[in-house]
């Protein structure tokens, strides 16, 4: 009799466990379905979708994915991008800039930029892809230029009686190495790269701001401008707050009345992912990168 009761309790426990697991799986599937974008569907057709670019710009994927998602939603009439960044990587800044231009062309939706405390260098590059740029009078912006820098620690190696051993396939393969002073040939080589990237920046600003390249070059010596100065030089369109930019985005999007400001959802890991052992969902693990170049070209205000 006792054995039968023990078996009964065991089966009850197992059954409850299976039932709870089934419920968790259903909840997880619902969350995953929501992350695919279905949960974003709204009855409101007066939406201004917002995106943020903050800190140093190192990657474009998350921003571009969210921007493309907004392009698919009929309720979203315009996009507002809030920028608070000193700039960052050349390629990442260019990818976001190009994504904004492509978004405008393909969706016909308007894009407005609102500059916060800082929107300089790569941050300003990105802003030039929008239909309209707002800044506060005290916003730090501009810094149109490119920088590459590294440390020369050859004297430190000499002091420590250490020598750098390099075997290379070409004369310029280890250009920018901090283990020795830069050569004159390398200076010319790097200056050529910098000048080419600088020209790309100037062309992007001239195109985005509808200004002659010669006029942009006069302003593009690396200096920063306040929002007030930027307005005087046609680097921005309007002086105004975040709320002013929201209102203008709504107007450009043809929204009548109070717009609904739509903010992006943060990445969520589903219960199913955690149950099935997705370590990234549980632990704050960073991505594993391969060898990284010792030199980095940046659109960055320092």
User: How do residues 190-223 score in pLDDT, each as one tens digit?
Assistant: 999 999 999 999 999 999 999 999 999 999 999 9
Task: Kindly give the pairing relationship between strand 87-89 and strand 297-300.
Answer: antiparallel
Check residue 174 and give its pLDDT: 84
* C-beta of residue 209 within 8 angstroms of C-beta of residue 127: no
Separation CA 300–CA 120 (nearest Å): 7
User: How do residues 128-145 score in pLDDT, each as one tens digit?
Assistant: 999 999 999 999 999 999
- Please identify which of the residues 72, 168, 173, 218 carries the catalytic annotation: 173
Check residue 172 and give its pLDDT: 86
Active site residue 267: no
Separation CA 112–CA 50 (nearest Å): 10
Check residue 7 and give its pLDDT: 59
86 burial type by CB count under 10 A (0-12 exposed, 13-18 middle, 19+ buried): buried
Active site residue 132: no
Angle made by CA atoms 47, 50, 56, in degrees to the nearest 5: 170
Task: Kindly give the pairing relationship between strand 76-85 and strand 260-262.
Answer: unpaired
Separation CA 286–CA 30 (nearest Å): 27
The residue with greater pLDDT, 45 or 221, is 221
Average pLDDT for the chain:
83
* Mean pLDDT, residues 140-159 taken together: 92
Range of weakest confidence among 23-27, 37-41, 105-109, 145-149: 37-41
* Mean pLDDT, residues 240-254 taken together: 96
Separation CA 245–CA 229 (nearest Å): 19
pLDDT band at 265 (very low <50, low <70, confident <90, very high): low
Q: How far from 116 is each of 41, 128, 154, 298, CA to CA, in Å?
A: 29, 15, 41, 21
- Please identify which of the residues 60, 114, 121, 175 carries the catalytic annotation: 121
Percent of the chain surpassing pLDDT 70: 74
* Mean pLDDT, residues 171-199 taken together: 91
* C-beta of residue 89 within 8 angstroms of C-beta of residue 298: yes
Helices within the chain (DSSP H only): 2-35, 61-71, 90-107, 122-127, 154-159, 184-209, 213-219, 227-232, 242-252, 271-275, 279-282
Check residue 23 and give its pLDDT: 64
Check residue 297 and give its pLDDT: 72
Contacts of 279 by beta carbon, 8 Å cutoff, 6+ apart: 285
* Mean pLDDT, residues 45-66 taken together: 94
Which domains can be identified in the chain, with CATH numbers?
43-147+214-275+294-300 (3.90.226.10)
pLDDT winner (highest mean) among 35-39, 70-74, 264-268: 70-74
3-class SS of residue 240: coil
Reply yes or no on whether the pLDDT at 182 is more than 60.
yes
Secondary element (H or E) of residue 51 = strand 47-54
Separation CA 298–CA 302 (nearest Å): 10
* Mean pLDDT, residues 216-242 taken together: 97
């Amino acid at each position: 009799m006792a054995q039968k009761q023990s078996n009964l309790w065991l089966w009850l426990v197992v059954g409850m466990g299976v039932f709870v697991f089934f419920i968790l799986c259903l909840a997880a599937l619902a969350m995953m379905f929501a992350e695919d974008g279905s949960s974003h569907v709204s009855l409101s057709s007066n939406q201004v979708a917002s995106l943020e670019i903050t800190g140093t710009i190192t990657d474009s994927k998350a921003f571009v994915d969210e921007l493309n998602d907004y392009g698919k939603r009929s309720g979203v009439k315009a996009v507002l991008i809030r920028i608070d960044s000193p700039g960052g990587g050349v390629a990442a800044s260019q990818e976001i800039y190009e994504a904004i231009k492509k978004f405008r062309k393909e969706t016909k939706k308007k894009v407005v930029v609102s500059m916060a405390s800082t929107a300089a260098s790569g941050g300003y590059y990105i802003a030039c892809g929008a239909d309209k740029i707002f800044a506060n009078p005290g916003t730090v912006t501009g810094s149109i230029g490119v920088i590459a820098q590294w440390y020369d620690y050859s004297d430190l190696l000499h002091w420590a009686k250490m020598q750098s051993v390099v075997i290379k396939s070409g004369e310029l393969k280890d250009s920018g190495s901090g283990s020795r002073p830069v050569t004159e040939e390398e200076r010319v080589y790097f200056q050529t790269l910098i000048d080419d990237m600088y020209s790309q920046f100037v062309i992007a600003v001239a195109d985005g701001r509808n200004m002659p390249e010669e006029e942009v070059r006069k302003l593009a010596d690396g200096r920063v401008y306040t929002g007030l100065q930027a307005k005087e030089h046609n680097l921005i369109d309007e002086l105004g707050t975040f709320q002013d930019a929201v209102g203008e985005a709504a107007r450009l999007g043809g929204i009548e009345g109070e717009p609904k400001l739509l903010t992006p959802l943060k990445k969520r890991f589903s219960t199913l992912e955690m149950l099935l052992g997705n370590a990234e969902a549980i632990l704050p693990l960073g991505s594993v990168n391969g060898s990284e170049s010792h030199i980095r070209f940046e659109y960055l205000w320092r």
